[in-house]
């Protein structure tokens, strides 16, 4: 019994250490990608920042691209996945969208997640496979979730413009504007993202009535 326990413990410890190394590599990769861009980031720099040998990286990732995909999968995908996991609204569709958008603003705008999104916008055209992965894992899911909410809003009579369901991009446009604006122009003209969102939703749903 003790021998079996002794065999399980080292295996468990090894798995824990491997998971910690993988996490350190992903964290280091995020910092390097954000600092240098996808093209200029080298595996040597990631290894140095993570405090591991370059060979250790290959135990976890086959190349720089797969490492970036893991980063998107673990850092950004969960934020969008919450949109598709929202329960049927007991209140208005607008309330549900405001809740999701508020969380998005808090978790993405002005954070490392926002830096990653800007990186994909900037370098995606030069790396189609990275852009394809981001579209498949993030954009398509976000669009599908938002379209479902828009269709529900139309069915309930909350949204008058039925063609909005054809263009869910319009609903999420303020989020992308905010991500890009914060890094490029915030020092010239700070953007009140929450208030911009309110105005945007007023245009779509109509102004809220005073209670």
Q: What is the DSSP string of 5-38?
A: HHHHHHHHHHHHHHHHHHHHHHHHHHHHHHHH-T
Q: Please determine, for residue 8, whether its predicted confidence score (pLDDT) is greater than 60.
A: no
Rounded-to-integer distance, Cα 35 and Cα 119, Å: 10
Task: Give the residue from 206, 138, 127 showing the smallest Cα distance to 172.
Answer: 138
CB-based burial label for 24 (10 Å; 0-12, 13-18, 19+): middle
User: What's the burial of 54, exposed, middle or buried (CB within 10 Å: 0-12/13-18/19+)?
Assistant: middle
Model pLDDT for residues 63-89, shown as the tens digit of each residue = 999 999 999 999 999 988 888 777 766
**Does the pLDDT of residue 157 top 80, yes or no?**
yes
The pTM for the full model equals 0.82
In this predicted structure, which of 1-5, 114-118, 128-132, 200-204 has the lowest mean pLDDT? 1-5
**What local confidence, expressed as pLDDT, does residue 12 receive?**
77
């Amino acid at each position: 019994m003790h021998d079996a326990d002794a065999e399980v413990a080292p295996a468990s410890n090894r798995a824990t250490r491997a998971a910690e190394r993988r996490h350190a590599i992903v964290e280091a990769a995020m910092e390097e990608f954000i600092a240098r861009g996808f093209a200029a980031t080298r595996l040597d720099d990631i290894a140095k920042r993570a405090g591991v040998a370059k060979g250790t990286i290959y135990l976890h990732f086959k190349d720089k691209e797969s490492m970036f995909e893991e980063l998107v999968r673990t850092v950004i995908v969960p934020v969008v996945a919450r949109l598709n996991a929202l329960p049927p609204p007991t209140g208005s569709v607008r309330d549900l969208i405001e809740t999701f958008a508020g969380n998005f603003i808090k978790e993405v705008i002005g954070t490392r997640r926002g830096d990653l999104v800007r990186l994909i916008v900037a370098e995606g055209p030069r790396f189609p496979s990275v852009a394809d992965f981001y579209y498949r894992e993030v954009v398509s899911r976000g669009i599908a979730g938002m379209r479902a909410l828009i269709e529900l809003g139309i069915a309930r009579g909350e949204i008058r413009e039925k063609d909005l369901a054809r263009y869910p991009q319009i609903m999420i446009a303020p989020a992308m504007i905010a991500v890009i604006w914060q890094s490029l122009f915030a020092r010239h003209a700070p953007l009140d993202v929450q208030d911009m969102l309110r105005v945007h939703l007023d245009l779509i749903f109509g102004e809220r009535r005073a209670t």
